[in-house]
Amino acid sequence: MYYVYDTKVKPTTSIHQIFLMISSKNVEKIYDVLDIEDIISDFVTLKKRGSNLIGLCPFHDEKTPSFSVSPSKGIFKCFGCGKGGNAIHFLMEHENFTYPEALKYVAARYNIHIEEETLSEEQQEVEKERQSLYIVSEFAKRFFSEQLFDTGEGQSVGLDYFKNRGYTKEIIDKFDLGYAPRSGSGLKRAALRAGHEAERLKKLGLLNSRESDFFRRRVMFTIHNLSGKAVGFAGRILGVDKKSPKYINSPESDIYNKSRILYGIYQARKAMRREERCFLVEGYTDVISMHQAGIENTVAVSGTSLTPGQIALIKRFANHVTLIFDGDTAGIKAASRSVDLLLEQEVNAYIVLLEEGEDPDSAVKSLGKEDFLTYVDEKAMDFLDFKIQSTPGAQSDDPFQRTKAVREIVSSLGLIRDQMNRSYYIRKTADIFKLDESIVVSEVNKVIKDKVWKEKGRQQRQARRKNLNTQETDTSSSAISGIEEATSPKDSVVQKDYHQELALVELLLRYGNELMEDHSPVYEFVFSNLEDVYEELSDPLVLKVLNHMRESIADMGKIDMQGLIAHPSKEVGQLVVNLLTDEYTYSENWEERWNIVLQNQPPPEQNFAKEAEEVVISLKLRKVRSVIQRQAAEIKAVQQEKPNEVNDMLEIYLELKELEKVLASQLRTIVYG
């Protein structure tokens, strides 16, 4: 995605040097967390307009806002001066940063530590292997989805299960739900046919020790990382089978660290930032049902107890967490442990324990969004009230039991780092248990002191291990001036060809990853149909974009739009932003409100298959006509000197003319029906 190890990039170019300095893992982290609205809001006052944000452009003087930010696409565009790009491009333009300086600015803002180093060939191979695992994982996600929607078994077993839970097609697609078939080798066979290695399937836990499919006859839940890539899976068994666990999960791998991923974080991150609040639940179906109800700032731990790494992930987007757990013994125990971790990480924690037999999935379905949120607000306890309610002996008349309970509560108070916050809860604890406040302070100080000594000991042991195992290495650094810039010699390009080629690029950017009626992606239809005239494409900038698309399809199985926006060539990124940005959009409610029909045909997002056919055939027709013109000129040139060659050339010419007729007929059929 970030051109770290592209062997086509010469070692002398600045972009290659940049990524020798900043590893792809660091760059991935930066792109994962950066929020274009958050970054640009530091410099521009933005106001909501539909799904976008607008403001006065910082790059030229204007009185009427023409500067637009699209959070969903991660891009900005000024319709006044024409500047556009992603958040990194904005910082480079506004702050006069080089590319690495902009990356470091974002890293500092989100507390991401960057290690600048030259990676060895071995390290580069490790990184390439990680990227290959992402590709295999994405393939498995698509396989499970196809099994769910396109097979009789998947529809009758898996899809029926999801429909019975009330899940819509939209929510199934949003969370990439799927189905693993009964067959023990369906995924393996499909992956091997597609050219993937069995060893990588095993690394991801998709094959078991007998090299059969690990997931069988289970509905599948895809686990995404923060950037939306599939990194793992959970499979739920259908029916009753006492020999098999209800859920089985992917093991950890080079791309899946359970302690640093939350189920639903990719889908929830924007709502978490907007609401400044996160709902933390226990199950996959809890998350999905709450999202479907419109409560999108909801995540769950995936196959593990809550960890500091997961809390750090939450804190990037929200500092208020409400735990919504089952009210049984297991739920109370999990909530108690989670609360202590949240306190330690300076997160404001509230706890809701549901009635016996209820979970968030069933509760939100029975109550609906508004009543459920009201219920949560009424039932929410701060950590101290929760501890008093849930700690054995806290409400006992037995002094020994109460003392034991107080000590347990005091151990939690010692985790609170903020002195004012800690002082408030110390005073509240003393009042509730009718204790002298100084006694509670003394006990809390003991807990803090013990914690400090333990941390100091841990750091000393870590330092000793580092001294034993680490060798000093010198890393060379070099000044990097900026990003490679490419220019497009538009003067030498026929204008009509250029615009048709742009139309092709725009189609692929907007709908390339969508599926045609035969379930093949649009990009497959486009590139397969243009293969014979691909060399006729004339604009260098268009070719650069299309070649990048083909590479990302080969590597990732899809067009990597964000990779294009972040392309090292400024002109590529600018072209992509321009083609993705609409200056004017129809109001969603216009037709309904005023009874005025704005369009007499389906909008592009519903009509992309027809548009793809029209763009491809139109461009192909134009390129064939160009070849015909050249062929006619060559025939005329050799007619006098080499008459014996004319017949062969004429035969080719006539074949081209016949192809021209066929394409023209197809185009008329598409346009006029």
First to last CA, the chain: 40
Angle between helices 495-511 and 540-556 (to 10 degrees): 20
Q: Taking Cα atoms as reference points, which of 298, 398, 307 lies closest to residue 345?
A: 307
Residue 518 has pLDDT above 90, yes or no: no
| Distance in angstroms (rounded) separating the CA atoms of residues 113 and 25 | 11
The domain limits of the chain are 14-109, 121-256, 490-583+594-672
Could you tell me the pLDDT band of residue 467, with boundaries at 50, 70 and 90?
A: low
Q: Taking Cα atoms as reference points, which of 19, 194, 211 lies closest to residue 115?
A: 19
What average pLDDT does the structure give for the chain?
A: 81
Could you tell me the pLDDT band of residue 323, with boundaries at 50, 70 and 90?
A: very high
Homologous superfamily (CATH) of 14-109 is: Zinc finger, CHC2-typedomain (3.90.580.10)
pLDDT at 126: 80
Could you tell me the pLDDT band of residue 317, with boundaries at 50, 70 and 90?
A: confident
Parallel, antiparallel or unpaired: strands 320-325 and 348-353: parallel
What is the average per-residue pLDDT within 310-326?
89
pLDDT at 294: 97
Share of the chain above pLDDT 70, in %: 83
What is the number of other CB atoms lying within 10 angstroms of the CB of residue 640?
8
- Which of 3-12, 251-260, 485-494 shows the lowest mean pLDDT across its residues? 3-12
- Which of 232-246, 265-279, 465-479 shows the lowest mean pLDDT across its residues? 465-479
In terms of phi and psi (left: phi > 0; alpha: psi -120 to 50; beta: otherwise), the region of 224 is: beta
Residue 667 has pLDDT above 60, yes or no: yes
pLDDT at 174: 96
Highest mean pLDDT among 125-139, 206-220, 455-469: 206-220
What is the number of other CB atoms lying within 10 angstroms of the CB of residue 274?
14
- Which of 244-248, 395-399, 494-498, 539-543 shows the lowest mean pLDDT across its residues? 494-498
Could you tell me the pLDDT band of residue 167, with boundaries at 50, 70 and 90?
A: very high
CA 379 → CA 75, 159, 291, 327, 374, distances in Å? 40, 35, 20, 12, 9
CA 496 → CA 278, 500, 537, 576, 619, distances in Å? 51, 6, 12, 19, 10
Could you tell me the pLDDT band of residue 16, with boundaries at 50, 70 and 90?
A: very low
Domain 121-256: assigned CATH number: 3.90.980.10
Report residue 25 as tokens. Answer: 């893992």
pLDDT at 600: 45
Q: Where are the beta strands (DSSP E) in 181-325?
A: 218-224, 230-237, 247-249, 262-263, 278-281, 298-301, 320-325
pLDDT higher at 653 or 551 = 551
pLDDT at 304: 76
pLDDT higher at 239 or 117 = 239
pLDDT at 495: 54
Residue 372 has pLDDT above 90, yes or no: yes
The structure's pTM equals 0.57
pLDDT tens-digit profile of 619-650? Answer: 778 877 878 887 787 777 777 666 666 777 77
What is the average per-residue pLDDT within 379-393?
89
What is the average per-residue pLDDT within 403-426?
88
Parallel, antiparallel or unpaired: strands 52-55 and 47-49: antiparallel
Report residue 209 as tokens. Answer: 């020790």
CA triple 628-659-662, angle to 5 deg: 135
| Distance in angstroms (rounded) separating the CA atoms of residues 354 and 377 | 12
pLDDT tens-digit profile of 89-136? Answer: 898 887 767 778 888 889 888 888 877 666 677 777 887 898 899 999
pLDDT at 460: 64
CA 3 → CA 227, 503, 559, distances in Å? 17, 26, 14
What is the average per-residue pLDDT within 577-605?
54
pLDDT higher at 431 or 612 = 431
Residue 593 has pLDDT above 50, yes or no: no
| Distance in angstroms (rounded) separating the CA atoms of residues 660 and 638 | 23
| Distance in angstroms (rounded) separating the CA atoms of residues 185 and 207 | 9
The enclosing H or E element of 640 equals helix 604-641
